[in-house]
Amino acid sequence: MSGLDQLFRWLHIFAGILWIGMLYFFNFVNGPFAGTLDADSKKKVVPELMPRALFWFRWGAAYTWLTGVLLLGIVFYSNRAVLLGDPHRNWELSTIVMVAVTFLAPFLYDILAKSGLGKNIKVLATVGFVLIAVFLYLMADWAKFEYRAYLIHTGSMFGTIMAFNVWFRIWPSQKKIITAVKNGEAPAYSYSRAHQALTWLRAARKSRSKGGAVRLG
């Protein structure tokens, strides 16, 4: 295990704890607390509290994702034996495609969430799990990833979708809500979009945690 390997592992863990810790804060502390505030209290508390909390939330997501990608490069992409099971096997089209899908998955997720499927979260989740099963099959049977490699890449796909949601769905919506509350206006809040983002965020985290115990190297 190299020094960089160890450094990025610990940074990845630290940033992940920060990110998901803030998610638990929003779900179990801030949500119930905000429900007890009257309009005047919200006008004072929300603009002060939420930008600070969301700062750590979104940057925790960013650094968790970034250190995870660096770990993929150090552990898997620089060592074909760990990724493909054979140090002499070159990257093939299947390898490139599956790595690309890992990091382009948020765009497919976004298309599905904006489609008619997004109106029913149960249907959307079912389609998502089917696609995940196909993703796993292709990594194992077509690209011939090693067991650890396809588990970690599945987790990486979830993490990428989650980070995408934080930065491009949850954060923009929250900025509008904070501004509206600060101005004493009713927030133009899109419940369905934010709810989809948070639901996928929680589901992805649970699925990712099941494979999280697998060592990277």
Mean pLDDT of the 47-67 span: 94
CB atoms within 10 A of CB 87: 10
Counting residues of the chain whose pLDDT is more than 90, the rounded percentage is 57
pLDDT computed for residue 77 by the predictor? 94
- For residue 26, the SS3 value is helix
Contact 149, 82 (CB under 8 A): yes
pLDDT at 206: 53
pLDDT value at residue 213: 37
φ, ψ for residue 175, nearest 5 deg: -60, -40
Given a contact cutoff of 8 angstroms between Cβ atoms, the answer to whether 146 and 156 are in contact is: no
Which residues, 6+ apart, have CB-to-CB distance to 8 below 8 Å?
Answer: 67, 70, 71, 74
Q: What is the mean pLDDT of the chain?
A: 85
pLDDT value, residue 214: 36
Q: Is the pLDDT of residue 22 over 50?
A: yes
CA distance 145 to 195: 34
At residue 71, the pLDDT reads 95
pLDDT at residue 215 greater than cutoff 50: no
Sequence-separated (6 or more) residues with CB below 8 Å from residue 114: none
Q: What is the mean pLDDT of residues 110-122?
A: 88
Give the lowest-confidence range in 136-140, 180-184, 186-190.
186-190
**Which of the two residues, 58 and 117, has the higher pLDDT score?**
58
Token readout for 49 is 């509290």
| Band (192; pLDDT cuts 50, 70, 90) | very low
- E-strand spans in the chain? none
pLDDT digits (tens, 9 = 90+) for 147-160: 999 999 999 999 99
3-state secondary structure 167-214: HHHHHHHHHHHHHHHHCCCCCCCCHHHHHHHHHHHHHHHHHHHHHCCC
Rounded CA gap, 191 and 66, in Å? 29
Structure tokens belonging to residue 124: 């959307």
Label residue 17 by pLDDT band (50, 70, 90). very high
Of 21-30, 94-103, 174-183, 184-193, least confident by mean pLDDT is 184-193
pLDDT tens profile 86-110:
888 999 999 999 999 999 999 999 9
Separation of alpha carbons 195 and 201, rounded Å:
10
Which tokens sit at 114? 């904006």
